[in-house]
Amino acid sequence: MASVSDDRTTKPATGRNIGLRRRQNGGSAPVSPRLQDIATELAQLRAILAASQAQSALAQHRAEVLSATNARLRRKLQSLSKQVERVRQTACHDELTGLPDRALLVDRIQQAMGQALRVRKRVALVLLNLEGFNGLNEKFGRGTADRLLYHVARVLTSSVRGSDTVCRYGGAEFVLILPGMNTVNDAETVVQRIRAHLAGSFLLNVVPTQMTVDVGLAHYPGDGRDCVELLNHADIALHRERAGSVPVPAGHRATGAVTWLEAGSVEPPQSVSRDGSVN
């Protein structure tokens, strides 16, 4: 009997068929080289990502540390700046009244003279002395006398403009720098206002007390070309007034500075600005 050919002739096995048979038989399918490359690359990327995240966390920690350090440095710098300002304030300002002292007075006068040259105006220099102050100091004590100086400083700064400067020259003497004066009469008006503010009898420790206020006035550039000449001219004018050789308008040569009920009734000003103004 002739053999019948089998249409199901065995075909050559392909990779797909082999993999299918192996999966059907419970075996594992082979992994292609391309998939292996992708898996390797994926693992590498994951490792790189992990390292990057670690570096990012480290950088963030360092940034936080730097930020905290910067904050501490800023606070330290602010503290040092305040200390420097306090030292500067103490070095150039009168400890009792807080007003600029002699050292700062010269600088303020020079600034005012330089400004006067630029704007073609005058500078008035007012030297004021509380005559009889030493006697009050001896009679009522230093504490009461110091409170009187506090109050006089407040009265003077409230009698002038914000651009003016009030300095304590020493003892019971004060100097006022008045820039931007157009005429001599402008400064005279300021002086009269100061006399009026410092006028009137007053009680010191419930004792009627009198004190004379003497004023010497000098102008730049007419009475001097530098600080020394201006101060000398103002001092001469003050002594002439004290001697009575210069007439003083009626009612303006005042005896007494403030109305004072008792020692300590006038408290020291809370603060005195660098230009001499009392807040």
In terms of domains, do 226 and 112 share one?
A: yes
> 160: which 2 tokens?
């002038």
- Residue 225: phi and psi, rounded to 5, are -110, -5
In terms of domains, do 61 and 120 share one?
A: no
CB atoms < 10 A from the CB of 59, how many? 10
In terms of domains, do 34 and 105 share one?
A: no
In terms of domains, do 143 and 238 share one?
A: yes
Residue 225 lies in a domain: yes
pTM of the model: 0.60
Distance in angstroms (rounded) separating the CA atoms of residues 99 and 157: 10
Taking Cα atoms as reference points, which of 214, 191, 213 lies closest to residue 258?
213
Distance in angstroms (rounded) separating the CA atoms of residues 198 and 20: 116
What is the number of domains present in the chain? 2
Q: Could you list the residue range(s) of the whole structural domain that residue 129 is in?
A: 95-243
Would you call 1 exposed, middle or buried from its count of C-beta atoms within 10 A (0-12, 13-18, 19+)? exposed
pLDDT of residue 149: 87
In terms of domains, do 75 and 210 share one?
A: no
In terms of domains, do 212 and 226 share one?
A: yes
Distance in angstroms (rounded) separating the CA atoms of residues 218 and 124: 6
In terms of domains, do 168 and 195 share one?
A: yes
Task: Give pLDDT tens digits for 84-127.
Answer: 777 776 677 888 888 998 888 999 999 999 999 899 899 999 99
In terms of domains, do 73 and 196 share one?
A: no
Task: Give pLDDT tens digits for 210-260.
Answer: 667 889 999 998 898 899 999 999 999 998 888 874 444 433 333 333 333
Task: Give pLDDT tens digits for 158-175.
Answer: 889 989 999 999 889 999
**Single residue among 92, 120, 138 that ends a domain in this structure:** 92
**Single residue among 70, 92, 114 that ends a domain in this structure:** 92
In terms of domains, do 110 and 138 share one?
A: yes
In terms of domains, do 157 and 231 share one?
A: yes
CATH number at 215 reads 3.30.70.270
In terms of domains, do 80 and 102 share one?
A: no
Query: In angstroms, how far is CA 158 from the centroid of its own chain?
Result: 22
